[in-house]
């Protein structure tokens, strides 16, 4: 049986798949998100690269350009920053700051629900809303009106990035 070099490396990182380790945002070089995600996966880390389908080109693109999410236990030595294409772990100064599990889960649920999610500007102000019915039930976001349609904005605060998804007025309530 032929083995690739990364398979041995993957075996050495059993700690990286810890289900309870927090998520961190990994800043990547431009257009290196897929390469970084694959490299992290080959090293045995649980990674998440949210993608969306661009309407014009009908191809998938990163929902948060320049970022890949990864579960890390910072108490155990890690080799993230030596991964080709990685710039840094997002945080303050030299201290990585975890991303809320609720924010990652909200992004995952939006992408699984089927509506076309697209990147949008990060918003600090606006009415907070909660979806109470349908596939996005329980998710909170900010109400946005764009071209006569209602959209809910879901934000990843640490990255100051957001996505928006079209919502039905009958499925939302103010928080």
- What pLDDT digit, counting tens, does each position of 88-108 carry? 999 998 889 999 999 999 999
* 160 vs 118, residue with greater confidence: 160
Statement to judge: residues 69 and 128 lie in one domain: no
Q: State the pTM of this model.
A: 0.69
Please check whether residue 120 is in contact with residue 162, taking contact to mean a CB–CB distance below 8 angstroms.
yes
Statement to judge: residues 41 and 62 lie in one domain: yes
Q: Is the pLDDT of residue 7 over 70?
A: no
Statement to judge: residues 77 and 55 lie in one domain: yes
Statement to judge: residues 130 and 79 lie in one domain: no
Between CA 6 and CA 41 the distance in angstroms is 9
Q: What pLDDT, on the 0 to 100 scale, is given for residue 77? A: 63
Instruction: List pLDDT tens digits, range 119-134.
Output: 875 644 468 898 988 9
* 59 vs 38, residue with greater confidence: 38
Q: What pLDDT, on the 0 to 100 scale, is given for residue 8? A: 41
Q: Is the pLDDT of residue 151 over 80?
A: yes
Statement to judge: residues 24 and 47 lie in one domain: yes
Statement to judge: residues 123 and 160 lie in one domain: yes
- Count of domains observed in the chain: 2
Between CA 165 and CA 151 the distance in angstroms is 5
Q: Is the pLDDT of residue 149 over 80?
A: yes
Residue 39 CB coordination number (10 Å): 22
Statement to judge: residues 113 and 140 lie in one domain: yes
Q: What pLDDT, on the 0 to 100 scale, is given for residue 121? A: 58
Statement to judge: residues 124 and 144 lie in one domain: yes
Q: Is the pLDDT of residue 79 over 80?
A: no
Q: Is the pLDDT of residue 19 over 80?
A: no
Q: What pLDDT, on the 0 to 100 scale, is given for residue 12? A: 45
Binned at pLDDT 50, 70 and 90, residue 39 comes out as very high
Statement to judge: residues 91 and 159 lie in one domain: no
Statement to judge: residues 86 and 129 lie in one domain: no
SS3 of 88, please?
strand
Q: Which of 161, 141, 145 lies closest to 153, judged by CA?
A: 141
Residue where a domain terminates, one of 42, 73, 96: 96
Q: What does pLDDT average to over the chain? A: 83
Q: Which residues pair with 119 in a beta bridge?
A: 163
Statement to judge: residues 15 and 39 lie in one domain: yes
Statement to judge: residues 87 and 166 lie in one domain: no
Residue where a domain terminates, one of 51, 67, 96: 96
Residue 123 CB coordination number (10 Å): 15
145 is in which domain, residue-wise? 101-174
């Amino acid at each position: 049986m032929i083995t690739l070099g990364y398979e041995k490396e993957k075996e050495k990182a059993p700690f990286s798949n810890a289900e309870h380790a927090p998520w961190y945002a990994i800043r990547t070089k431009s257009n290196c998100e897929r390469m970084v995600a694959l490299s992290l996966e080959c090293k045995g880390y649980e990674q998440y690269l949210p993608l969306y389908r661009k309407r014009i080109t009908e191809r998938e693109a990163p929902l948060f350009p320049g970022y890949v999410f990864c579960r890390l236990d910072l108490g155990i030595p890690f080799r993230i920053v030596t991964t080709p294409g990685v710039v840094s772990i997002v945080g303050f100064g030299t201290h990585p700051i975890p991303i809320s599990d609720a924010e990652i889960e909200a992004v995952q649920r939006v992408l699984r629900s089927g509506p076309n999610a697209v990147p949008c500007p990060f918003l600090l102000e606006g009415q907070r809303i909660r979806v109470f019915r349908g596939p996005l039930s329980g998710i909170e976001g900010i109400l946005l009106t764009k071209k006569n349609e209602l959209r809910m904005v879901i934000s990843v605060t640490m990255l100051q990035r957001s996505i928006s998804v079209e919502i039905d007025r009958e499925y939302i309530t103010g928080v």
